[in-house]
Amino acid sequence: MDDNKATIAMLERRVAREIKARKQSEEILNQKSLELYKANLALVDSNQALDLRVKERTQALELAKKNAEQQLALNENANDRFTLAMLASSAGIWEKNIIDDTWYFSDRLIRLLGYNEAQLIECFDQFSFVHPQDLRNLKSKVIKHVKRGAVLDVECRILTGSGYYKWFWIVGQAKWNAKGKFTRIAGSFSDIDERVENAKTIQKMAHYDHLTQIPNRELFNQQLDTAIELARAQQSQLAVLLIDLNDFKLINDSLGHSVGDKLLQHVAHMLKQSIGPQDLVSRLGGDEFSIVLKNITDTDQLIFRCRNILKEIEIPITDNANSLRAKISIGVALYPEHGVNRGELLSNADLAMYQAKKTKSKGSQFYLCEQSLIDQLATRSRIGKDIYKAIKNREFYMMYQPFVELASGTHYMVESLVRWQHPTLGLISPVDFIPIAEESGLIVELGELIIEMVISKVPKLMQGNGLGRLSINISAAHFLSPGFLRVLTENIDKYPGSAKHLCIEITESVVLDNLDLARVVIDKLHRLGLLVSLDDFGTGYSSLSYLQILSVDSLKLDRSFIADIDTCKDRRTITESIIKLAHSLNLYVVAEGVENSKQLDYLLDYKCNYVQGNYFYEPLNEDQLLEVQVDSLHYEVWNDEHSGEGPNYKEQL
C-alpha cells in the first residue's frame, strides 16, 4: 500500500514536473513565437523597404540611362555642330594639350597658313612664323594670359607658306586643373589682312593729301603736338614754317588747274627733298604748306636751312611748253621762343609769313617771327574781344574831314570818320579795328551805330555853316546786308530832310560781292535823295565800266595815286585820264590824300572837283568843324585863276 502511495506520489510529482515543464515549454514557445512574429513583421517591413529602394533605384537607373542617352545625343549633335562650325568658319582652330604634349590643327588653319602639321608644330613652338616687329607683343600677351589669365587677343603679321606676311587676328583661352596647373590652351586664327589693308587705305585717305601724298592738316597737327612734347622733354628747339605759294591763283586762272596741280606736286616733292628724315612736311590745304624742323641749335642754323628750302624750290618744273618756277613766302616761328603750343606757333608763323609776302616782288622770301609781331597779334586779339562791348557802350565817336572844292575854295562836303576811344588802350585807329570788325561779323552793328551818330548830327552841322553833304563810309558786307536800308530809313525818318544832306561811300568790293543787289540798293538810295560815291577808285579790280553799271554820282581817287602824282609821270597820266572820263560821265571826282602844293597844282590843272587831305584839314571834331571858315587866300587865288572853269557840280550836289 505504501509502495502504491509512494508510486502514486512519485507519479504525481513526475506529472507535476511534466506539467511545470510543459508550462515552461509553452511559455518559452509562446515567447519564441512572439519573437518569431516580431521578427517576421520586421522582415516584412524590411522587405517592403527593400522593395521600395529597389524600385527607387530602378527608376533612378532608368532616369540615368535616359539622361545618358540624351547627353550622348547632345554630344553627338555638339560634335556635329562643332564640325559644321569649323567647316563653315573662316577661322582656323588650334589646340595644345600640355599634359600629353599633343597638338591639334583644323583643316581650315592648315589652308590659311599654308603649312602641314609638322611645320605648324615647329612654327607654334618657336613662334618662327611671327613678324619680328610683332613677336615681342605676341609673346608678352601669351605669357600674361597663361600666368595671370589676361585676355589673349592680338593682331599680328604671320609668315604664310607662300612666303608673304599676312595680318591675322589671334585669340586664345588656356585651361587650368583644380590645382591651378596649366593643362591646355586653344584658340583661333582669323584672316584680317584685307581689313587691315583697307584700314590703312582709309587711314591714308584721312591723314594724307590725295594730290601730293604728304600728310594733311589733321595728321600734321598730331605730329606737331608730338614733336612739341618731345622738344619740351628734351629741352630742345624746333621751328614751324608756314609756306604759301605766291600768285598761285594767277597760275590756275592763266594756265589751268592741271598745271596748278602739277606745281603743287612739284613743290611738295621739293619740300620733302629739302628737309631731314626726322623733320615733318604737310600740305595744310590749297597752296599752303608747313614744315617742322627739329633739333634747331641756333638762329644761324635755322637761316641756313630756310635758305636751303628756298634753293630747292627754285628748281623749275617743265610742263609742255611752260617752264614754271614756284615762288613762296615762308613765315618761321621757333619753339619755345615764339610759342609753346601748336596754336601759338602756327599763329605766329602766319604773322611772319605775311611779313614775307610784303616782299614777294623780290621772289621767294622767308621771315623769322619777332616779338613785335606777337605783341601786335595780342593787341589785335584784345581789340577783337572788346569791339562788341565798345559798340554797346558807345565808345566810338565821329571826326570830320572837309572836301575842298577847287572851283571855289569852300568846304561844301565833309567825310565823317569813325574813331574809337578805348578805355585802357586809348585811341585806336580805324585802320586797326575796322578789319577786325569785318572779320568778326560786327561790322554791320558798328555801321548801324555810325549811321545813327552821323544822321543825328545833320541838323546841327548843316544849319547855317555852308555845308551841303555828310558822307558815310559803309562796308560791302553792311551795304549788302538785309537791314541796311531799313536802319538807314529809320534814322532818316527821325530827322526829316536829312537825306538830301547825305552821301554813302562804298568800295569796289561791293561789285565783286553782288553786282545785281548793289544796283538795286543804289537805286533805292537815289530815290531817298542820297548820293553814292565809289571810294578808293584805282585799286583792286578797278573797272571804269562799274561807273556806268552802278550809276554812282562820284568817285574818289585812291590816295596811292595822289601820293606819287608829283613824282611819277605814269600816275599823272592815269589820274588825268580818270578825271576826264569821270567828267564825260557827268561824275564829280574827289582826290583824297593831298599833302602838298605840288599835288594840288596837278589836280587843279586836271580840273579835279574836290580835294581832301592834311594839306587843308586834318580830321576835325564837331566843334572844330563848326568853327571852320572859308580860307580867304585860297578863295581869292582860285576865284581869280579858275573862275567859271568846269561844270557846276555844287548844283548837282
Q: Where are the domains of the chain?
A: 92-197, 209-369, 379-629
Answer for the pair 271, 243: CB distance below 8 angstroms, yes or no.
yes
- CA–CA gap between residue 478 and residue 484 (Å, rounded): 6
- Count Cα neighbours of 650 within 13 Å in the Cβ-side half-sphere: 15
Q: Which residues contact 446 (CB under 8 A, 6 or more apart)?
A: 387, 391, 396, 418, 437
Position 201 scores a pLDDT of 79
Q: Is the pTM of this model over 0.85?
A: no
- CA–CA gap between residue 381 and residue 643 (Å, rounded): 53
Answer for the pair 233, 239: CB distance below 8 angstroms, yes or no.
no
Specify the 3-state DSSP secondary structure of 336: coil
CA-wise closest residue to 191 among 165, 172, 219: 165
651 pLDDT more than 50:
no
Position 5 scores a pLDDT of 72
**pLDDT (mean) for 195-218:** 87
- CA–CA gap between residue 443 and residue 387 (Å, rounded): 10
For the CA atoms of 563, 567, 572, 573, the dihedral, rounded to the nearest 10 degrees, stands at -140
CA-wise closest residue to 402 among 578, 594, 260, 237: 594
Tally DSSP H helices, then E strands, for the chain: 23, 21
pLDDT in tens, 242-297: 999 998 888 888 888 888 899 999 999 999 999 999 999 999 999 999 999 999 99
pLDDT band at 637 (very low <50, low <70, confident <90, very high): very low
Return the amino acid letter for 367.
Y
By mean pLDDT, which of 1-5, 30-34, 213-217, 648-652 is the weakest? 648-652
The architecture of the domain spanning 92-197 is 2-Layer Sandwich (3.30)
Percent of the chain scoring above 70 in pLDDT? 89
Position 178 scores a pLDDT of 86
CATH class of 379-629: alpha beta
490 pLDDT more than 50:
yes
Position 77 scores a pLDDT of 52
Position 649 scores a pLDDT of 41
Specify the 3-state DSSP secondary structure of 75: helix
Q: Which residue has the cell 555642330?
A: 81
- Count Cα neighbours of 173 within 13 Å in the Cβ-side half-sphere: 1
Classify residue 271 by its DSSP letter. Answer: H
> Please, what is the average pLDDT of the chain?
85
Higher-scoring residue by pLDDT: 51, 625: 625
Specify the 3-state DSSP secondary structure of 105: strand
Position 69 scores a pLDDT of 66
634 pLDDT more than 70:
no
pLDDT band at 465 (very low <50, low <70, confident <90, very high): low
Answer for the pair 90, 106: CB distance below 8 angstroms, yes or no.
no
Query: What's the N-to-C CA distance of the chain in angstroms?
Result: 200
Position 102 scores a pLDDT of 93
The architecture of the domain spanning 209-369 is 2-Layer Sandwich (3.30)
Higher-scoring residue by pLDDT: 489, 380: 489
pLDDT in tens, 37-93: 777 777 777 778 777 877 777 787 677 667 766 765 555 554 444 454 444 456 899
Q: Which residues contact 29 (CB under 8 A, 6 or more apart)?
A: none
Answer for the pair 507, 476: CB distance below 8 angstroms, yes or no.
yes
| Secondary structure E strands in 512-607 | 531-537, 554-557, 588-592
Specify the 3-state DSSP secondary structure of 492: helix
**pLDDT (mean) for 218-243:** 95
